[in-house]
């Protein structure tokens, strides 16, 4: 089968890394795969067998659309599968002028935009053979906002290379040594782009409250970069919590950093299926999260989930988790690990995607 994946851009992010896992899986299953990015950005590492086409829709819209049509004409895909709002809309509109056998569009969040662009999404739904979103909460949000009818959108989980993030005691010890973490230090980690939806101010305010109450030694590592990096670092300085926090920027060893950690914290306002929680679960972190969307599809219970934009509640929950005994910590992390491993098995999800492609 020939599969063409289309995405808005190939920067550093959850949807982009998920696409790499999806292409790797389909290549391994013997399918021909090509990728189109609407923007001229590629920070992902694809298999050598995957041809990646970079358009420049922002600066050269006309020539980019002509090139897109040419790619379709040359590759002749059996299935076109688009990801994220702008790619979904552009691919649908291309279908008006070029025949596409099967078009699948996948949204990746509870919130992808508002106003005119979501109206365009809504009124072009008829151009897709199948519309999916990445979590139960995300589908419900689209239905509630009347962007889709209840019968139009289904939940389909991402293909995530969960085994890449498997817990390793050797890696844990190595990285704790590299970063100067003492045996009795608790490591809290957060991973995600420095943008508004991730709500890092919520996390920093919670850490500030935690410092005032806790006597247990802990360190916080924040992995990621983005437009709000300087602003986030400035807030840490204003709150006088710089001594507790290390901003690591973009890293290519997130799996090892997660192995180093004890507690993973997600402070987002909204997510689709927060892939990073899956990665943290596989690294056997105890997870504390806001109720930002998709969490109920990953965690076996809501014991460590708090309301969004509530720093006091986030601080209280972190404090509770930090006080767990070693046995309680292992019990919680192991339960989440086993739940995720069974629920998000990549081979099982790949089979489900192929059933959709072949329908």
Q: Are the C-beta atoms of residues 37 and 10 closer than 8 Å to each other? A: yes
Burial level of 116, CB count in 10 A (0-12/13-18/19+)?
exposed
Kindly state the average pLDDT of the residues 244-267: 97
| Least trusted range by pLDDT, from 11-20, 153-162, 296-305 | 11-20
Q: How many CA atoms lie within 13 A of 308 on its CB side?
A: 12
Cα angle 119, 124, 126 (rounded to 5 degrees) comes to: 135
Tell the CATH topology of 162-344. Answer: Rossmann fold (3.40.50)
Cα angle 335, 277, 169 (rounded to 5 degrees) comes to: 65
For 213-240, give one letter per residue: b (16+ CB within 10 A) or e: ebeeebbbbbbbbbebbeebbebbeebe
Q: Inform me whether the pLDDT recorded for 250 exceeds 80.
A: yes
Assign domain 2-156 to a CATH class: alpha beta
Cα angle 302, 304, 306 (rounded to 5 degrees) comes to: 85
Domain with CATH 3.40.50.2000 in the chain: 2-156, 162-344
pLDDT number for residue 215: 65
124-175 tens-digit pLDDT:
999 999 999 999 999 999 999 999 999 999 999 999 999 989 999 999 999 9
Q: Inform me whether the pLDDT recorded for 354 exceeds 90.
A: yes
């Amino acid at each position: 089968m020939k599969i063409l994946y289309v995405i808005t851009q190939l920067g550093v992010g959850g949807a982009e890394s998920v696409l790499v896992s999806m292409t790797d899986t389909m290549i391994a299953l013997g399918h021909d795969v090509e990728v189109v990015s609407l923007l001229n950005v590629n920070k992902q590492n694809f298999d050598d067998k995957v041809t990646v086409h970079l358009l420049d829709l922002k600066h050269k819209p006309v020539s980019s659309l002509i090139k897109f049509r040419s790619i379709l004409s040359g590759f002749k895909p059996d299935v076109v599968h688009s990801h994220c709002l702008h790619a979904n809309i552009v691919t649908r509109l291309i279908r008006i002028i070029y025949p596409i056998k099967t078009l699948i569009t996948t949204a990746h969040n509870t919130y992808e935009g508002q106003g005119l662009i979501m109206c365009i999404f809504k009124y072009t739904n008829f151009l897709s053979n199948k519309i999916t979103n990445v979590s139960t909460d995300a589908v419900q949000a689209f239905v509630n906002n009347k962007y889709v009818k209840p019968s139009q959108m289904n939940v389909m989980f991402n293909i995530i290379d969960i085994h890449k993030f498997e817990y390793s005691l050797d890696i844990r010890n190595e990285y704790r040594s590299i970063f100067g973490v003492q045996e009795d230090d608790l490591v809290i980690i957060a991973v995600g782009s420095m943008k508004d939806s991730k709500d890092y101010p919520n996390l920093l305010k919670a850490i500030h409250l935690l410092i005032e109450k806790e006597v247990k030694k802990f360190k916080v590592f924040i992995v990621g970069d983005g437009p709000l990096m300087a602003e986030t670092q400035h807030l840490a300085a204003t709150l006088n919590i710089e001594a507790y926090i290390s901003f690591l920027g973009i890293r290519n060893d997130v799996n090892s950093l997660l192995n180093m950690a004890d507690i993973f914290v997600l402070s987002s306002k909204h997510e689709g299926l927060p892939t990073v929680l899956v990665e943290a679960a596989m690294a056997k972190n105890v997870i504390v999260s806001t109720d930002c969307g998709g969490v109920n599809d990953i965690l076996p219970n809501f014991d460590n989930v708090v309301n969004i934009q509530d720093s006091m509640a986030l601080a209280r929950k972190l404090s509770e988790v930090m006080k767990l005994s070693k046995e309680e910590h292992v019990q919680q992390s192991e339960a989440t690990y086993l739940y995720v491993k069974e629920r998000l098995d990549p081979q099982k999800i790949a089979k489900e995607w192929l059933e959709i492609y072949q329908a």
